[in-house]
Amino acid sequence: MKPQILCVGSGALGSYYSGILQRGGAETTLLCRSDYEVVKARGISVKSCDGDFFYKPDHVIKSVSELSYEPDFIFVFLKVLPEIDLVSIIKEAVAKKTTIVLVQNGIDIETPIQTAFPNNEIIGGLAFICCQRIDSGLIDHQDYGHIKIGTFPTGITEKGKIVQKLFEKGGIDCILTDDVIAARWEKLVWNAPFNPLSAILGGVDTKFMLEDEDCYELCEMVMKEVVKLSEANGHAVSEELVEKNLFYTKNMVPYKTSMCHDYENRRHLEVDAILGNAVRIADQLNVSVPHLKTIYTLLKQVDRKIRG
């Protein structure tokens, strides 16, 4: 029997990965908000570096009350923003058997969902992809696409293996990790400097940030603080990541982060998921992260300005 899934969110990630999961063998229901009419009528077109494709989700709904089955999995592709109350959005759809997969950026974002649904398995997911929503039902996938998942807080589970297979049958690489918290710290090593700074500095790319030696050093300091924090948090990532990330980013084509795009389009920023939660963990663990904290504070102000 096909796994029955609910995909929440028809932004770039939701639109792309829902198609992958359908291709991987799942019966899909896509929960849309503003895109509902267009997606229901016309499906989703993905202009992709791996080959363009088009699909219609098996079902398109506007609210989880319309869901026609108890889902085996709920995949969440929403941004983590204070005004998005994910628990309320999915509550009605969460059955006893449901596993919740959070394909979202940030640190410690599983905890509130685990607290709300203590008897459901929670899987964290991290997408490594350059992908933009051009319009309702129209996605531009420019590069990468692999995903990393792991049951929260730790361990390899059967459900994790099913999710991995769905993605891989759908055509993308999916790494299964037994420490998704470490995977989140690992991604934060890159995200913590480049995403916020690209917005704080008014919309700049990686080249701009790394060509000035003081700014390069600031990125390095922030990265080192994240590594230190991951150790204190008991999910240590390798310090080598710092120089690797810097070297790699300095040598890649100038890149605008997703937060840079959000900033330029005056969209709300994932301040807490990316930095605020990390700073709070640092405070709890009494780890000194002054650079990270300064960046967090400034990013929070940039977001305040966007929110007007």
Contact status: 142 vs a copy of itself (CB under 8 A)? no
Which range binds a copy of itself by CB under 8 A, 93-101, 161-169, 230-238, 285-293? 285-293
Residue in 63, 88, 238, 301 binding a copy of itself, rule: CB under 8 A: 301
How many Cα atoms within 13 Å fall on the side-chain side of residue 202?
Answer: 0
Are the CB atoms for 108 and 276 separated by under 8 Å? no
Give the binding-site size for a copy of itself (rule: CB under 8 A): 26
**What span, in angstroms and rounded, lies between the C-alpha atoms of 294 and 290?**
6
308 lies in the binding site for a copy of itself (CB under 8 A): no
Q: Which helix (H) or strand (E) holds 232?
A: helix 213-232
Is 240 a binder of a copy of itself (CB under 8 A)?
Answer: no
Q: Which residues, listed in sequence order, are joined to residue 258 by a DSSP beta bridge?
A: none
CB of 110 to a copy of itself, least distance (A): 24
**Residue closer to a copy of itself, measured from CB, 274 or 295:** 295
Strands 122-135 and 99-103: parallel
Angstrom CA distances, 82 to 33, 63, 79, 85, stand at 17, 20, 10, 7
**DSSP single-letter state for residue 257:** -
Among 138, 156, 215, 285, binds a copy of itself (CB under 8 A): 215
Binding-site member from 214, 253, 265, 308 for a copy of itself (CB under 8 A): 214
Q: Which strand (E) or helix (H) includes residue 29? A: strand 27-31
The distance of closest approach from Cβ of residue 279 to a copy of itself in the complex, given in angstroms and rounded to an integer, is 9
Q: Give residues in contact with a copy of itself (CB under 8 A).
A: 197, 200-202, 204, 208-209, 212, 214-215, 217-218, 221, 290-291, 293-298, 300-302, 304-305
